[in-house]
Each structure stands twice: as C-alpha cells, then as structure tokens.
C-alpha cells in the first residue's frame, strides 16, 4: 500500500510540475509574454521620444544630488500614500493610452497643473514611473512631459515594484 501511495504522489507531482500541464505556462510561453512586453516598451519609448532608466541609475542620480523631478503616476490613496520613491511627486495618469488630455483621467488636473509640477526649466531631468513594467501610467506621464516640451524625460519602467526589488528605501505620506 505504501508503494502505491508513493507512486500516486510521484505521478501527481510529475503531472502538475510538467510544463505541458494546462494550469501552468511553460517557459516558452512565458518567454513569448516577456518578448511582447519588451517590444511594446521599446515601441512606446521610441514613438514618444523619451528615454528609459533603471532603478539603479535613478538611485545613483539621487545619491549624486542630481536636480530632477520624479513623478509617481499611481493613484494617491491606493499607492502613492502607502509607498513611493523618496522625493517623488504624485500626478495620476490613466492606464490606457492618453492621446488627448482629459482631466477626468488625471484626477481632475489639467495640463497646466502638470506643467506647473514639472517646473519652468524644459531641460530639467524628469523621471516618471508607475507600479511595474506592464503598467502604462508612466508611459502616459512621460509622453505628456515630452508633448509639453520637456527635453530630458525618462521612464523608470520597473516602477515601485522594481525599486522595492532593489531593496531601496521608500517614503510614505504621514
């Protein structure tokens, strides 16, 4: 009886752990997903004309005291208030592509409000982030910074998840 139980458990394990098991993606399917995300990120970045920056690069710039504006594009109550990159300002952007400005998508704020937050220096470094690579709020924020004439705009695609993954400090609203 013990041998049968071990055999059944082993067969179940092999079935569940198998890449072809229907409930789990195979490593090949996961790669297709990563590829699609990478290509979308590249195409969004190229079309909008902003740059990309890693968490480590952002942290280095912060440690060096670089004069910049960091924008967190996540919702205030659900995200920014609980955790954000130190010194980041909050300005909500939607997830779907925002081709035209609509204040209902930006928490009631206008283009002028966003431009005031970014400041008058169009050559100042602007870094925009959201939650994680697939989140496109940061794309919308970076896109609109470029549309408003800012020249040194970067998107930090890893966002707060990437920041925390690097074990960097976060701030909270008290």
Domains of the chain: 50-174 (3.40.250.10)
pLDDT for 82 equals 95
Beta bridge partners of 68: 125
Q: How far apart, in whole angstroms, are the C-alpha atoms of residue 52 and residue 157?
A: 7
- Show the tokens assigned to 39: 């290509």
- Show the tokens assigned to 25: 């993606």
Rounded percentage of the chain residues whose pLDDT exceeds 90: 71
- Show the tokens assigned to 167: 């074990």
Rounded percentage of the chain residues whose pLDDT exceeds 70: 86
Split at pLDDT 50, 70, 90, the class of 134 is confident
Q: How far apart, in whole angstroms, are the C-alpha atoms of residue 114 and residue 91?
A: 7
Residue 47 three-state SS? helix
* Statement: the pTM of the whole predicted model exceeds 0.85: no
pLDDT for 1 equals 62
Q: How far apart, in whole angstroms, are the C-alpha atoms of residue 5 and residue 9?
A: 6
Taking residue 59's Cβ as centre, other Cβ atoms within 10 Å add up to: 16
The terminus-to-terminus CA distance of the chain in angstroms comes to 61
Mean pLDDT of 124-128: 98
Split at pLDDT 50, 70, 90, the class of 4 is low
Q: Are strands 152-156 and 89-90 parallel, antiparallel or unpaired?
A: unpaired
Q: Nearest Cα to 103, choosing from 23, 60, 94? A: 94
pLDDT tens figures, 6-53: 445 454 444 444 444 445 558 888 899 889 999 988 998 899 999 999
Q: Which positions ≥6 away from 4 have C-beta within 8 Å?
A: none
Greater confidence (12 vs 86) lies with 86
């Amino acid at each position: 009886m013990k041998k049968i139980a071990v055999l059944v458990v082993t067969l179940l394990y092999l079935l569940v752990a198998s890449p072809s098991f229907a409930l789990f993606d195979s490593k090949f399917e996961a790669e297709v997903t990563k590829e699609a995300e990478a290509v979308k990120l590249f195409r969004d970045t190229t079309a909008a004309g902003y740059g990309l920056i890693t968490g480590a690069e952002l942290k280095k710039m912060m440690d060096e005291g670089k004069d910049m504006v960091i924008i967190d594009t996540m919702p205030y109550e659900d995200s920014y208030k609980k955790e954000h990159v130190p010194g980041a300002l909050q300005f909500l952007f939607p997830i779907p592509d925002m081709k035209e400005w609509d204040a209902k998508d930006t928490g009631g704020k206008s283009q002028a409000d966003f431009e005031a937050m970014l400041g008058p220096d169009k050559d100042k470094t602007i870094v925009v982030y959201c939650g994680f690579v697939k989140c496109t709020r940061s794309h919308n924020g970076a896109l609109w910074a470029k549309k408003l004439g800012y020249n040194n705009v970067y998107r930090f695609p890893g966002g707060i998840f990437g920041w925390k993954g690097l074990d960097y400090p976060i701030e909270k609203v008290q």
